[in-house]
Structure 1
Amino acid sequence: MPFGDLLTELKRLPALDRYSLTLYRRCAGAVASIGRFEPCATMVEDHLCREVSRQFFEENMEVFFDEGTPSVCRYGGGFFGFLIPFSMSGEDFCLVGDGVREASIDLWQLASLARDGGDAFSLLPYVESLCTASYEEVENVAEQVRLKIEQYRLPEAAGSAHAAVAQGQEPVGDAELAAVSQAMERLDKAATVTACIAICCETIVSAFQAASIAVALPDNDGKSFPVTGVWGLPDELGTVNADSLHLFVAPEKVKKTVLWDGKMRALLPEIRAAVCTIFPLKAQGERLGFLALFDTDVHTNAALLISMLAGAMAGKLSSIGKDATRSKENALSERLMSLTDTLLQIDSKDLLYESILKIASELIDATQGSIMLIDKDGVGMQIVFTQGMTLNVARCLQLKVGKGIAGMVAKTGQPLLVNDVEKDSRVAMANRSRFKSKSLICIPLKLKDKVIGVLNLSDKKNLRPFTHSDLQLLTSFANLASLMIERTEVLEESERFEQLSVTDPLTGLYNRRFLKSRLEEELNRSMRQGLNLTIIFIDLDFFKSYNDLCGHLAGDEALKLTADIIKDSLRDMDIVARYGGEEFCAVLPGTSKVEAMIVAERIRAGIESKRFPGESDIPLRRLTASLGVASFPEDGRSFNDLVHASDIALYEAKARGRNRIVAARTSSERGEPKHEIPEHRPVQTQSALAKTLDFNAYLEASLQSKG
C-alpha cells in the first residue's frame, strides 16, 4: 500500500480527526544517514504542532523504535503526541501523531517557541484554539491506531502464507485471514476482559481447530497468574507465580509447538497434554500473562496470525485494565470526598478516633483494630481507640516507637502487610489467642514526612489474608485520617486556649483548670511508661490573719513572693499552679515520694526563712506553710484521687501544728493508729519538730525500705 494511502485510511478513524500524522521510514543505502528514520508521508493539520513534534521525536526515533511499543509523550510545555513503531513489507516505520495540547498552557515554553521577535502572548490565542486532551485520551487514540495498523499487516501475512506453499509449508487461507481480521475489529469494540477472551478463543477454535485453550492473566497484586481453561479444559487449572512465568514464555517455547514438559506439568497438574504452543500477552512493555494451545499442531503461518490476534487482545486488555483503574481511582476519590464530609462534622477527638477505626475496618472487612498515636516526646505510643478489645486495658499497655510490629511501622514510616505472623520473617512471632487469623495490616499515619501514629487492623470477616489492594485502599484512607486527626487536635487545642486563661494574673502561675488538664496528661504518660509522679499542695499558715492585719496589697505581694520561692525550688519540667486563694500545687513528673519530700522541705524552708512585712503580728509571728504530698500510683491513679490524698495530708499537717510536711499514707498505713496531735509548743520547738519528727523520720524510713 502506498504511504499516502496508509495515512488516508488511518485518518478515517474518528479519533484522529484533529491529529496531524507523519510517517517515517528507516532509510537504507550508502549515505551518511544510513539507518536513520526520515519522513516519507505526512498529513498536517497544524504546522506549529508538527514543528514542535518533529524537534522532539526525530532526534531519538531509533530509541523509540527499539522499544517496540507505542509511546505517548508530553513535550514543548504542554503539547501531546504519540509514536507507533511497526514493520511492513520488510521495512521499519514510525508513525507520529500530534496536534493536541493539555488543558494548561506553559507561558515559559511558549516564549521559546515565539519567532521573529514575538513573545509568548502573541502565540497565546493561537495555542488556546488547539484541541485539548488528557494523557489517557491520547493513549487510547494511539492504541486504536496500533490495532488499525495490525489489520493492514494481515495481507503481508497472507503473502507469507502463499510463499510458504511454494516451500512446502502448511498455508493459511483467506477464511483464516478474514476471521482474524474480523476478530481484531470486534476486539476494538470489546468492553470487558471476558468479551476479549471469548472473541479471541472463538476465532482460534473455529479458524485453527484448536483442541484446548487456556489463558493466564495476572491477579490484583500482579504477583501471580491464575490459569483458566477457556476451551476443552477445566475452569480452574492452577496458578503460576511471577518467578515461574519464564517456564511458559521462554523464547524457545513461544509460537512453537513444544512438549508439555515436567516443570510445566508440576505447576499445572490439571492439564494433561502432550504438546503446547504458547503466545505471550504483552502490551507496552507490561507482561499480562499468556495464551496457550494444547494438543494442537500450529504451523508457522497460523502461529503468525494467532500471535497478531494475541497481541491485539493484550493491547485491549491493557486498555480495559487502565480504564478500570481510572474508574476505581475516581470511585475511591468520590468515596474519600464523602468520608471527608462525614469526618468534618465530628468535633471530638474520641468520636473522630472511633469513626476513623470504624470506616477503616469497613473498607477492608476487618473485625479487630486499634489507633495508636505517638507521644509528644516521640518515644512512647498511646492506644487511643480499639475495636475487638477493651480500651481501658489497651491504654495501660506500655508501647514504644521501634518496639513490636506497630512500633517498627511508627519508626520506619513504611506500611506492613503480613499474611502469616508466624511465617513472615519480618515479624516471626507466635499468633495471639485473641486473633482469629494470622494476617494483619499496619499503616503509618503521616503528616507530610512526620509519622504521628499507626492504624492497625486484623481478622478479615472471612478469615482470609489481607491483600495488596486492601493495603492500597487503607493507605489512601490513612492520609485522610491523618489530616482529620491533626485538624481536630488543632481545633481542640485552639478552643481550649480560647476558653481558658491558662495563667493566674496575680502570680503568673498556671491556674487551677489548666493544672487539671496537665496533671491528667502526665498521669496518662506515667501510666503508659511506668513512671512515678508526685504532687505537693502548699498552703500558707494564718494567711487570712496576715491579709486582714497587713492589708490586701501586702497579701498580694506575699502570694507573689511565695510563688517565686516555689518556682525556684522546682525543675523546668515541673508544673506549679495557684490552686486557689493562698493554696498552691506543684506537679513533679517522674519523681517518687521520697524525692518529692526533699523538694517539699526546700519549699517549706524557703517560705519560713523569707521575711514578709508585718508577719510578726500573726499568731506564729512568722508566715509559714503547711505541705501535703501524694504520689502516683500508691496514693491514687486519677486526678481526683491524688488531689484528695494530698489534701488530707495537708490538713493533717495543719492539725499537727502547721509549718510542716505530711505525706499521704498508703492503704496499709491507714490501718495503723493515727498520730496524736502534739501539744502546743513554742514556735521554735514546733519548727524543729516539723524538721525532725515529720520530714526526717519519713525520709529515713523510706530510704531504709528501699535499701
Structure 2
Amino acid sequence: MAQQTADIPLHDLLVQLKELPSLAHYSLTLYRRRNGAVASCHQFETCSTIVEDPLCRDVSRQFFEENMDVFFEEGTPSVCRYGGGFLGFLIPFGVGGDDCCLVGDGVRDESIDLWQLAALSRTEGGGDAFSLLPYVESLHTARYEEVEEVAQEVGRAVEQYRFPTASPPVLQNAAVPCESVTDQRLQAVSQALERIDRCTSVTACVAIGCETIATEFEVPRIAVALPDAEGKSYPVTGVWGMPDEIGVVPAEALHLFLAPAKGGKAVPCDVKMRAALPGLNSAMCAFFPLKSQGERLGFLALPESDIPQNSALLINMLTGAMAAKMSWIVRDAERSKENALSERLMSLTDTLLQIDSKEQLYEAIMKIASDLIEATQGSIMLIDKDGEGMHIVFTLGMTLNIARCLQLKVGKGIAGMVAKTGQPLLVNDVEKDSRVAMANRLRFKSKSLICLPLKLKDKVIGVLNLSDKKNLRPFTNADLQLLTSFANLASLMIERTEVLEESERFEQLSVTDALTGLYNRRFLKSRLEEELNRSTRHSLNLTIIFIDLDFFKSYNDLCGHLAGDEALKITADIIKESLREMDIVARYGGEEFCAVLPGTSKSEALIVAERIRTEIENKRFPGESDIPLRRLTASLGVASFPEDGRTFHDLVHASDVALYEAKARGRNRTVAARSSVSQQEKSVDVEPRQAVSPLAKTLDFNAYLEASLQSKA
C-alpha cells in the first residue's frame, strides 16, 4: 500500500492549480516526505515544480526548506515575508500516508527592505542591493492580505483535488515523462530562460529556445514565423530539421495558426492552413504562439509532434519568455533607432542653423531629404501668401527656371492635394493608386513617389516632393516616417529663415531712408557718437561733410516730384561712390546729406568734398535745363574733430554753419568750418559756438536747421 501511494504523481496537481487566475504570477513547488518502506530519509524533498521566476524560486527555497518540518507541524497555511520584500505561502497536506508541502512564491510586497536585499544580493551574485533593485521592482506586487487569500484558496483547491491511484493513461506514440525526467526538463528550461534573458538579438533568442525544445523534448522538426519589417506578413523559417525558407503567412491569415496553439496538442493542417503555408508540408502540427502583452510576434510550428500536457506547459513557458525578450529587443532597437535619428536631426539642425540665405537653405533641405531616402528627383513648393497658389523654390533633377514657370494651385494635382489636406502621400504606383490614378510622366524613371506637407503646427506652408529611388524600387513606410521627422525640422528652418529675413528687413527700414537706401538721421547720430568715442580713445581725426542740393525746391516744383526723387537717388549714388567702404553716409533730411569720414583730417576731407561737388555739378539730372541756372549743384560744409567740436551736436552745428556760409557765398562750393581749438574748448557744453562768418553770427541755428529740412533756396 505504501508503494502504491508513493507512486502517485503530483505534478498534475500543479498543472491544475496553475489554471487558477490568482496564481498567474506565482511559481509552485511541491515537497514530499515519504513514509514507510520506500522512505530513504525522513526529510522533505522537491518532487515537482513550475517556475515563473528562477530568482524568486531560489530565494524561496532557501527560506522555506530550512524550516519545512516546522511549517508542516503547524498544519495550517502559512504566509511569510522574506528576502527584503518577497512574499510566499506554504500549504501542508498529506497524500496516501506521505507528508507534502506546497510552496507558492514569485510576488513581492509594495515596500522593499534594502538591508535584507543587500544581504540577498551578496548571496546571489556578489553585487549590491541597487544592482538587484530594478529586477525586484519589476516583479508583481501584492499585499500580505492578498497573499493570505490566495493561500486559503489554494488550500481549499488542494483539499478538493482527487489524487489518482494509478499512472495516467499514455498517449499513443508519446510517453509521459516520469517526475525525474520532468525535473530534468524543468531545470533545462530554467537554464534556457536565463540564457534568453541575456540575449541581445532576436536570432539568438530563437536559437536558444528552439535548441532547448529540440534536445530536451525530442522534437525532430521546428519552424518559426516572425513578422517582416513592415509587419504585413510573417516569413516562416526552418530552424531545426527543416528547409530555411518554408513560405510566408499573410498577417490576415496569422490567426489560423494561433487559434489551435493550445496545450501543444497536434492538430490537423486544414485546407486554409495549407493554402496560407503550403511549404509546411505536414498533415499534423503542434503550434505554440509567440505573444507578449497582447502583441502577436508569430508562432513556433512543430510538425508531426504531439506534445504531452506536462511538456507543453514547459514549452509554453519557454515560448512566452522568448516572445517577451524578442519584444523587448525590438522595442530597444526602435528606441536606439529613434535616439540615433534624434542625434542625426540635432546634427542636421546645427548644419541648417549655419545657413544664412533662403536659397542655400532650400538647397540643403533638398540634399538632406534626398539622401535620407535615396531619391534622385524632387522639389520644394511653398504656398503663396494668398493661400491659393504655390511656387517652386528649389528642384532636384529638373531645371529650376522652367519649374518656376509652372502654375500650381492648392487642391489641384498631387502636391496641391497634400497642401490642402495636410496629409502625407506615399504612392507605390501612380498609375494604379486610386488616389492619384494618372499616367506616369516621361521624366520620372519609377512610378513611386512621396509627397509630404511642410507644416508649422496645423498650418501648411509648403510641400516636399521626392521620387525615383536610386534602386528604382518603391518607397516604404520607413522612408515616409524618416522623411516626416526631417520635414518637421525643415519647416521650422524655413519659417525661421523667413522670420529672420523679415526682421532684418524691418531693422533695415528702421535705420535707412526708404527712397535712397542711405542711413537715416537717427542711425547717423548713434554711429557718429560711436566714432567720436573711438576717435577720442585712440586720438584719431574724424571729419563730417554736409551736402545740400542748391535750388532743389525750384527743381522739384518745375520738374515734378518723380524727377526730384530721382535726383536724390542719383546724388546718393554719387556720394557713396566717392567715399570709402568704412565711411558712413546718411540722408539727413530733405535734400541734405551727411558723410562721416573716420580717421580723416579736415584737409583730406576737403579733397573728398570737392570731388563730390564736382561730380554733382557735372552730372546731368533729368529736366535740370528747366531751372533758372539750368543745372543742379550742391553746397558743402566740412567740420572736423576735435578742432571744430567734440560732440555730435557741436560737429553738426559747425558743419551746418559752414554749409550756410557756402550758400551765402554763391552756392556750388565747399566751405570748411574755421575755429581754433581754444575757442572750441571754451564753447563745449556752454552754448553753440559762433562761426567766423558775419552771417553766421546773426543766425538762429535751430530756426535755420528746421527751415533747411523743409527747403533750401
Give the corresponding residue for 1:223. 232
Normalization by structure 2: what TM-score? 0.52
Give the corresponding residue for 2:207. 198
1:340 aligns with 2:342: no
Conserved? CA contact 2:381–2:394, under 8 Å: yes
What's the CA shift string for 1:488-533, capped at 9, x where partnerless?
A: 222222233434569866xxxx7789xxxxxxxxxxxxxxxxxxxx
Distance in 1 (CA, whole Å) between partners of 2:192 and 2:165 is 24
Q: Which secondary structure does the structure 1 equivalent of 2:338 belong to?
A: helix
Conserved? CA contact 1:161–1:171, under 8 Å: no
1:142 aligns with 2:138: yes
Give the corresponding residue for 2:501. 492
Letter in 1 for 2:170: G
Letter in 1 for 2:239: V
Unaligned runs of 5+ in 2: 1-27, 31-45, 60-77, 87-100, 114-128, 143-157, 519-548, 571-624, 628-713
Distance in 2 (CA, whole Å) between partners of 1:422 and 1:471 is 20
Give the corresponding residue for 2:482. 473
What is the Cα deviation at residue 309 of structure 1?
A: 0.8
Conserved? CA contact 1:225–1:240, under 8 Å: yes
What is the Cα deviation at residue 361 of structure 1?
A: 1.2
1:386 aligns with 2:395: yes
Give the corresponding residue for 2:284. 275
Distance in 2 (CA, whole Å) between partners of 1:233 and 1:145 is 43
Of the three residues 406, 424, 445, the one matched with 2:433 is 424
Conserved? CA contact 1:504–1:578, under 8 Å: no
Q: Which secondary structure does the structure 2 equivalent of 1:442 belong to?
A: strand
Distance 1:9 1:408, change over 3 A: same
Letter in 2 for 1:214: A
Give the corresponding residue for 2:576. none
Distance in 1 (CA, whole Å) between partners of 2:197 and 2:130 is 24
Distance in 1 (CA, whole Å) between partners of 2:295 and 2:135 is 15
Conserved? CA contact 2:284–2:305, under 8 Å: yes
What is the Cα deviation at residue 359 of structure 1?
A: 0.9
Stretch moving more, 484-493 or 345-354: 484-493
What's the CA shift string for 1:64-119, capped at 9, x where partnerless?
A: xxxxxxxxxxxxxxxxxxxxxxxx9899996565669xxxxxxxxxxxxxxxxxxx
Distance 1:132 1:205, change over 3 A: closer
Q: Which secondary structure does the structure 2 equivalent of 1:315 belong to?
A: helix
1:321 aligns with 2:330: yes
What is the Cα deviation at residue 553 of structure 1?
A: 3.6
Of the three residues 193, 196, 203, the one matched with 1:187 is 196
1:350 aligns with 2:346: no
Distance in 2 (CA, whole Å) between partners of 1:458 and 1:263 is 39
What's the CA shift string for 1:366-391, capped at 9, x where partnerless?
A: 12111111111111111111111111
What's the CA shift string for 1:38-66, capped at 9, x where partnerless?
A: x96556979xxx9xxxxxxxxxxxxxxxx
Conserved? CA contact 1:233–1:271, under 8 Å: no
Distance in 1 (CA, whole Å) between partners of 2:302 and 2:53 is 37
Larger Rg: 2
Distance in 2 (CA, whole Å) between partners of 1:384 and 1:315 is 49
1:234 aligns with 2:243: yes
Distance 1:302 1:44, change over 3 A: closer
Conserved? CA contact 1:228–1:235, under 8 Å: yes
Paired residues for 1:582-597 under 5 Å: none
Distance in 2 (CA, whole Å) between partners of 1:387 and 1:140 is 56
Distance in 1 (CA, whole Å) between partners of 2:102 and 2:434 is 56
Conserved? CA contact 1:512–1:580, under 8 Å: no
Paired residues for 1:402-441 under 5 Å: 402-441=411-450
Conserved? CA contact 1:227–1:237, under 8 Å: yes
Distance 1:165 1:438, change over 3 A: farther
Distance in 1 (CA, whole Å) between partners of 2:374 and 2:368 is 10
Give the corresponding residue for 2:170. 168
Stretch moving more, 477-486 or 209-218: 209-218
Give the corresponding residue for 1:552. 552
Distance in 1 (CA, whole Å) between partners of 2:224 and 2:483 is 31
Give the corresponding residue for 1:331. 340
1:247 aligns with 2:256: yes
Paired residues for 1:442-591 under 5 Å: 442-499=451-508, 551-553=551-553
Letter in 2 for 1:250: A
1:310 aligns with 2:306: no
Unaligned runs of 5+ in 1: 15-38, 51-87, 101-130, 147-155, 514-546, 564-576, 584-617, 621-707
Q: Which secondary structure does the structure 1 equivalent of 2:278 belong to?
A: coil
Letter in 2 for 1:142: S
Distance in 2 (CA, whole Å) between partners of 1:390 and 1:438 is 20
Distance in 2 (CA, whole Å) between partners of 1:239 and 1:42 is 50
What is the Cα deviation at residue 582 of structure 1?
A: 10
Conserved? CA contact 1:353–1:384, under 8 Å: yes
Distance 1:97 1:243, change over 3 A: farther
Distance in 2 (CA, whole Å) between partners of 1:160 and 1:470 is 61
Distance in 1 (CA, whole Å) between partners of 2:491 and 2:213 is 53
What is the Cα deviation at residue 353 of structure 1?
A: 0.9
Distance in 1 (CA, whole Å) between partners of 2:430 and 2:163 is 58
Distance in 1 (CA, whole Å) between partners of 2:162 and 2:356 is 74
Conserved? CA contact 1:421–1:431, under 8 Å: yes
Distance 1:459 1:97, change over 3 A: farther
Distance 1:351 1:188, change over 3 A: same
Distance in 2 (CA, whole Å) between partners of 1:385 and 1:254 is 62
Give the corresponding residue for 1:570. none
Give the corresponding residue for 2:405. 396
Distance in 1 (CA, whole Å) between partners of 2:210 and 2:141 is 23
Query: Would you say how many aligned residue pairs link Structure 1 and Structure 2?
Result: 427
Letter in 2 for 1:171: V
1:286 aligns with 2:291: no
What's the CA shift string for 1:320-367, capped at 9, x where partnerless?
A: 112111111111111111111111121121111111111111111112
Conserved? CA contact 2:199–2:205, under 8 Å: yes
Conserved? CA contact 1:140–1:319, under 8 Å: no
Conserved? CA contact 2:108–2:141, under 8 Å: no
Distance in 1 (CA, whole Å) between partners of 2:377 and 2:217 is 54
Distance in 1 (CA, whole Å) between partners of 2:82 and 2:299 is 38
Conserved? CA contact 2:264–2:306, under 8 Å: no
Give the corresponding residue for 1:666. none
Distance 1:207 1:440, change over 3 A: same
Of the three residues 178, 181, 205, the one matched with 2:187 is 178
Distance in 2 (CA, whole Å) between partners of 1:341 and 1:163 is 78
Distance 1:370 1:286, change over 3 A: same
Letter in 2 for 1:232: G
Conserved? CA contact 1:161–1:301, under 8 Å: no
What is the Cα deviation at residue 430 of structure 1?
A: 2.1
What is the Cα deviation at residue 428 of structure 1?
A: 2.1
Normalization by structure 1: what TM-score? 0.53
Letter in 2 for 1:474: L
Distance in 2 (CA, whole Å) between partners of 1:140 and 1:437 is 55
Identity of aligned residues (%): 62
Distance 1:302 1:447, change over 3 A: same
Conserved? CA contact 1:143–1:315, under 8 Å: no
